[in-house]
Amino acid sequence: KELMLKSSSTVPEGSLAYVREGSNAFLRTPRGWSRLLVLCWDGGGHTLWLAPTNCPSALRLVALNVPLSGDMSGIRGADLQCYRQSQEARLYGTFRAFLSAPSQDLASIVKRTDRTLPIVNLKGQLLARSWSSLLQSQAGAAPRSPIYTFSGRNVLTDALWPRRLTWHGSTLRGGHAQRRDCRGWRSSGPGEGLAAPLGQGRLLAGQRHNCSEALAVLCVEVAFPYRHMW
């Protein structure tokens, strides 16, 4: 910062400078250097505040563009569909399927350091105050806002999803529910999978459904390449 201040007379107005010490950005104005602030919001659009550089991030919860039966070519096949559709929608975070399987518990797919971040839908509207509260169905965790697909459809109102149910294959604590995951998400015939009604506040409700049924599949953002800034 001291070097930046000393060079003020030789730096043109309108120049930007980033000072690694303190992680602050500055703009060269006629009066010298002015620190830049960014406007942050809470995902629901109700709370605004100023931050020196980066706004706290949120994790997005988005549905695949069409309902699927229990045969998704396994958990990796479901993850691949989340990845491909997020890339097509130009959402460059990393999305994984909101599913438990023999190789993973749903609760573990979000890193521990990110489990306190708010969960928002495709349009930034708040769905849950955190990943942990979403799984535990705590007060304030019920997804009251719409859940959109990567193509922008509202799963709660679109006729393509008449059942308003989403697969998850999980226990109430987000663990893998054995023999309730459509044979590792590879069966559209024999077997059962656990699914939950959307819009009722409990995404891990344990309702058994035949694997031949076509239901919604959700994808959650587990990593992001940048912080949301405006």
Tokens of 42: 């809470």
Using the predicted structure, report yes or no on whether residue 62 has a pLDDT greater than 50: yes
The model's pTM is: 0.74
What digits encode the pLDDT tens for the residues 117-130?
Answer: 889 999 888 888 88
What digits encode the pLDDT tens for the residues 167-191?
Answer: 999 998 899 999 999 999 999 988 9
Look at residue 132 and give its three-state secondary structure: helix
What digits encode the pLDDT tens for the residues 144-157?
Answer: 689 999 999 999 99
Query: Which sign, positive or negative, has the C-alpha torsion 193, 199, 204, 205?
Result: negative
Q: How confident is the model at residue 42 (pLDDT cuts 50, 70, 90)?
A: very low
- Quick check: 52 and 23 in contact, CB under 8 A? yes
Q: Give the pLDDT confidence score for residue 218 in this predicted structure.
A: 97
Q: Write the burial class of residue 43 (CB in 10 Å: 0-12 exposed, 13-18 middle, 19+ buried).
A: buried
Using the predicted structure, report yes or no on whether residue 139 has a pLDDT greater than 60: no
Q: Say which range, 27-31, 107-111, 134-138, has the weakest mean pLDDT.
A: 134-138
Q: How far apart are CA 3 and CA 109, in angstroms?
A: 44
Q: Give the pLDDT confidence score for residue 150 in this predicted structure.
A: 96
